[in-house]
Structure 1
Amino acid sequence: MSEVNTNEKTQQSGASLEPISKDKRIMGWGSNTMLWLGGCISIGTLAQGSAQLEAGLNLFQLFMAVTIGTVILVIGIALNDQFSYKTGAPYAVQLRSAFGTKGNIVPSLIRGVPAIVWYGYQTWLGGAAINNISIALFGFDNIWLWFIVFQIVQILLSIKGFQGAKWVGNIGGVVISIAMIYLLYLCITQYGDVVNENLMQKSGTWGMPFIAAVIAFFGNSTPVMLNAGDYSREMKDGMSSFKRGVSYFLAMVPATVLLGIIGAMASTATGLANPINAFAQMVDNKIVMIVTLGFIIFAQLTTNLASNVIPPAYAFMDAFKMKHRTAVILIGILAVCTCPWILTDDSSAAGLALFTKIYTAFFGPIFAILITDFFILHRRKFSEAALKDLYDPKGKHAGINWAAIIAMCVGVVIGLVNVDISFFTATIPTGLIFYFCMKYMKSAAPFRAGTTLDK
């Protein structure tokens, strides 16, 4: 595989699309768990918990919705991380197997859009938390200044590539775990009566609002299910699929459930959808408030570096042949252009939930195509020669595979018919359409080479 590898320094920085050989990988089991833990802890999940109050769910139904949605997500991650763990290639290259060396640009950029939106959203919340600390300590109020400062810090850390994400994730995972336990304690001890009356005692519903909540929490992190390979290719040798799956489960399920519940409790107690404002109102002690907001700042940092910078950076590097540094800076600028000061307004909570459901309608079909390609057409085997061909602009995977594009488009249309259940309605049909298009479409003949359809 030396012909497609770059120099050691580039590989170790995680700033290349080339395969990472197993002796150059930097993530152990513990580091991987902490990275995913830090990456899944976001104010967006707190906001999703808040949004479910209007849907009419009670606390137990919310707990079940978050748990089911997150477990489905973990299963998807454990399935889709296998290509990159075996080959060392990232998501952008994985897409080439099904979509072609040019066709992969479309799903790669589609993956980057929500990452950039959430990047801006969480950066604004991080800036707001810093501003609240500034007000408490110095009486200085300038959210725009702290927003810009926080964004500059994130860009500088992102330039370090995967090493920066690993370092922040390892520290942040421990710190934020302690913070979540404290925030739950705060909600229960100070607002237990209000939470019990307005959240625990209400009848709730197990109908469509509950199913929509499952989709919302599943969809909130669906993007990382697609590009799971961007992380698994950094994992050291000797980790079975089961061992990696346990890592994902321990990192994501307890933390996401806790965040969803805390978000609902905080909003019930204060009536505010914005979690930063809610916690600022809940905490009377200045020192405790500063520590709490500091934890929130760290949550934004870990999530952005792990989940919201790497995917669009690789997409831009692949589509526009950018250097990693240039891509990271551009993504930071685009995140600001999403106007996160509007997205974080209390009135935007329902809109964010709808946005999550809509992009899930796109990601379900892409996921189905990747799984069909790797598990059914390639039977989980990818030779060194086949991997090398993915990097050849004139190879068998050159150009656009219209079988994948057609399957994706049909799947998206199916999903958009009812965005509340889009993943469940679109995934299987997309996989079937892709398989039969691959089997019968004349233009797909080059892409059948080396698969179970090769004759």
Structure 2
Amino acid sequence: MHVSKRSHLKVDQAKSAFAEGNARWTNKDLDPVPRHERKWGVTSIIAYWISDAFNAATWQFASGIIAIGLSWKEALGIVALAFFIISFVIAANGAIGVIHHAPFPVLARASWGFWGSYVAIVSRAILAIFWFAIQTMNGANTVRVMLGAIWPSFLTMKNHIPASQGIETNTMISFLLFWLAQIPFLYMHPNNLRWLFMVKSVVVPVAWIAILIWAFKSTDGGDMWDRPATITGSAYSWAFLSSLTSVIGNYATLSVNQADFSRYSRVSVKWQLLYVPMLPIIFTFIAFIGIAASSAGAVKYGTLQWDPMALIANWPNRACRFFAAFSFALAALGVNISANSLSAANDLTAMFPRYVNIRRGQLLCAVLCWALVPWKILASAGSFLNFMAAYAVFLGPIAAIMVWDFWLIHRGKYDTLALYQPHSIYRYNQFLVNWRAVVSFLVGVAPNLPGFINSINPSIEVGVGAHPYQFGWLLGFVGTSIVYVGLEKMFPPRETLIERAVLPDEIYESNGYGADRIEGQSLDDEEEGRTGEKVGFKQRLQKML
């Protein structure tokens, strides 16, 4: 029998209560995580967030805030407030993943419709792939410092790459080495990545606390601690809002796709509330380390270096340079996987479920990294980086729609099986699009467009139209929330308003998948009281399949 080459590229669709016979909309990696594969406990969750927080971007949060005229105290206050706000959204969307154990691209179908969900999926995929490339370049800079500490002449190696390429030979070698170091972790199943996050959550904090001790032991701290804010009045207010939005924007992606990780949780949904006190504390502490170390470096070396690699490069001790740079390399590795490659992989899997799974999606993201030539982006395309940072304003409306749709409109009741059946209750119309979500998204984004355009091309004058963009995430989130809830109340999609949640475990049990592994195990706290009603469920299940 002739087998086409194309068939060899297809991913495994076998033995799935959801994917079997429905290859266009799901595969094994998009299916809800079975009970025996849920391995993330409380320790894993905490390690994940500590790991995610410790990265160079968090270190530098305060730099931009202080640079525009605010004091260090105000900078730390803004970081704390930003993560206090975003932590509620992360917890709310993460809880949906704990309850239904499905990834973000699948959960988005409930509020957007099947084809409508691609607005959210494609938006996040674009960000994730580009930021993976840029973070890989940042990781390359840490490897360059590490190699320079071991082999000093590496930093003065003769360059064989034309200057027009925006990168030198030693940096290209460093880029290749860091890129290769990521490959084994991209090949790992997300359940096993928790070990990477646990190691990072120990090694990196210890190294950075050591840097904090160095900062206070080596100098008197510098004059940054005595600098007051240099702006007042309306300029101060706009600077405050702009800085708040900038910090929130850095984690706007995870506020949307937290379910990609929480779906592997084996603990109760209430543990998602841990984010609310934990995130502001951790991120503010790291920003404080960045302020202290940079201020000490300014006193000791005569130049204020917010870039930690530039600061570490001044240290005379080669061993200290190596291990400090190694901690930043590990930090970059962890955050690139948690925030970028795995996010892109879930999105690519949702777009091409016949041919892409999470493993292939992560490797594809790594390959695309080279095609984007991030060294050129960082070297010469400031406006493009502004665009990528500004793109976060689109994620506020997406997060708002998902939060309110689940918790308010549907009162925490989704039908998990229907999320995988395109002609189910989440069909909405013949176009498989929830028009309410699309209209709300456009309303939330529209006020930010003048400022968004100006941020990309400052030569385009937009006048006061730039102000809404300065608090774009908050404006988009609030505006979209009001419009979406209003439309859903005025034009309720009654077919989606079910009396009880249909959870993945009862579907697995009803179909006999994994029954030998979950037999005799009690349901999680969030599932108690919901699975008792099974009258007519098997008949409805058979009809839908």
Output the TM-score relative to the length of structure 1: 0.87
Match of 1:89 among 92, 102, 119: 102
CA contact (8 A) 1:47 1:273 kept: yes
Q: 1:198 aligns with which of 221, 224, 227?
A: 224
The letter of the residue matching 1:401 is N
| C-alpha separation in 2, matches of 1:354 and 1:106 | 18
> In structure 2, what is the Cα distance between the partners aligned to 1:161 and 1:380?
29
Between 333-342 and 123-132, report the one with greater CA deviation: 333-342
* Alpha-carbon distance in 2 for matches of 1:228, 1:240: 13
The aligned residue for residue 374 of structure 1 is: 406
Q: Deviations over 1:319-339 (max 9, x none)?
A: 122233321122113334444
Answering whether residue 488 of structure 2 is matched by residue 438 of structure 1, we say yes
Q: Find the aligned partners of 1:311 and 1:214 in 2 and give their Cα distance.
A: 24
Higher alpha-carbon deviation: 283-292 or 413-422:
413-422
Within a 5 Å distance, the mapping from 1:148-227 to structure 2 comes to: 148-194=176-222, 197-205=223-231, 206-227=236-257
Aligned with residue 473 of structure 2, among 423, 434, 453: 423
Distance in 2 separating the partners of 1:437 and 1:163: 39
Q: Does 1:392 align with 2:442?
A: no
Give the structure 1 partner of residue 117 of structure 2.
104
Whichever residue aligns with residue 405 of structure 1, its letter is: V
Structure ranking higher in helix proportion: 1
State which drifts further: 206-215 or 94-103: 206-215
Contact 2:32 2:101 in 1 (8 A): yes
Structure 1 residue 78: Cα displacement:
1.3
Give 1:73's aligned residue: 86
- Summarize deviations over 1:169-223 as a string: whole Å, max 9, x none: 01001111112212222333335443xx135333345522122222221221121
1:274 aligns with 2:307: yes
Any conservation in 2 of the 1:49–1:262 contact (CA below 8 Å)? Answer: no
Matched AA of 1:291: F
How far 1:43 moved relative to its partner? 1.4
Q: In the TM superposition, what whole-angstrom CA distance separates every residue of 1:223-259 from its partner, at most 9, and x where no partner exists?
A: 111111111111113x242x33225643x33331133
User: Mapping of 1:334-373 within 5 angstroms?
Assistant: 334-342=368-376, 344=378, 355-356=388-389, 358-373=390-405
Identity of aligned residues (%): 22
Partner Cα distance (2:433, 2:485) in 1: 16
1:411 matched residue in structure 2? 444
Question: Is it true that 1:328 corresponds to 2:362 in the alignment?
Answer: yes
Which moved further from structure 2: 94-103 or 178-187? 178-187
Do 2:256 and 2:399's aligned partners in 1 also have CA atoms closer than 8 Å?
yes
2:175 matched to which residue of 1? 147
Aligned partners of 2:190 and 2:69: how far apart in 1? Answer: 41
Aligned-partner SS, 2:229: coil
TM alignment of 1:240-319, pairs within 5 A: 240-241=269-270, 243-246=271-274, 249-250=277-278, 252-268=279-295, 269=298, 270-281=303-314, 283-319=315-351
TM superposition shift of 1:299:
0.3
Partner residue, 2:498: 450
Mapped contact 1:70–1:256 kept (Cα < 8 A)? yes
Counterpart of 2:194, as a letter, is: K
Q: 1:65 & 1:117 partners in 2: Cα distance?
A: 27
RMSD across aligned positions (CA):
2.8
Q: Distance in 2 between matches of 1:184 and 1:359?
A: 33
Q: What CA distance in whole angstroms lies between the structure 2 residues aligned with 1:52 and 1:411?
A: 26
**Alpha-carbon distance between aligned partners in 2 of 1:71 and 1:438, rounded to the nearest angstrom:** 28
**What is the CA–CA distance in structure 1 between the aligned matches of 2:304 and 2:227, rounded to whole Å?**
17
Task: From the superposition, tell whether residues 271 and 127 of structure 1 become closer, same or farther in structure 2 (CA, over 3 Å).
Answer: same
1:115 aligns with 2:145: no
Quote the residue 2:37 is aligned against. Answer: 24
User: Higher Cα Rg: structure 1 or 2?
Assistant: 2
- Does structure 1 retain, via aligned residues, the 8 Å contact 2:104–2:256? yes
Can you give the 5+ residue segments of structure 2 that lack an aligned partner in the other structure?
A: 1-14, 21-26, 156-169, 452-467, 501-545
CA distance in 1, matches of 2:28, 2:109: 19
2:416 is paired with a residue whose SS is helix
Contact 2:88 2:275 in 1 (8 A): no
Q: Is the 8 A contact 1:396 1:446 kept in 2?
A: no
Quote the offset at 1:265 in angstroms: 4.3
Q: What is the distance in 2 between the residues matched to 1:178 and 1:254?
A: 17
Q: Tell me, yes or no, if the aligned pair for 2:426 and 2:496 is still in contact at 8 Å.
A: no
Take 2:28 and 2:196, find their aligned partners in 1: how far apart are those partners?
A: 17
Q: Per-residue deviation at 1:114?
A: 2.5
Alignment check: 8 A CA contact 2:90 2:255 kept: yes
2-structure distance, mates of 1:341, 1:213? 26
Equivalenced residue count is 432
Distance 1:279 1:345 in 2: 21
For residues 373 and 289 of structure 2, the distance between their equivalents in structure 1, rounded to whole angstroms, comes to 26
- The equivalent of 2:503 in structure 1 is none
**Which amino acid counterpart does residue 201 of structure 1 have in structure 2?**
R
Q: Quick check: 2:241–2:470 contact (8 Å CA) kept in 1?
A: yes
**Residues 364 and 451 (structure 1 numbering): CA distance in 2 closer, same or farther, change over 3 Å?**
farther
Which stretch of the first structure deviates more once superposed, 290-299 or 202-211? 202-211
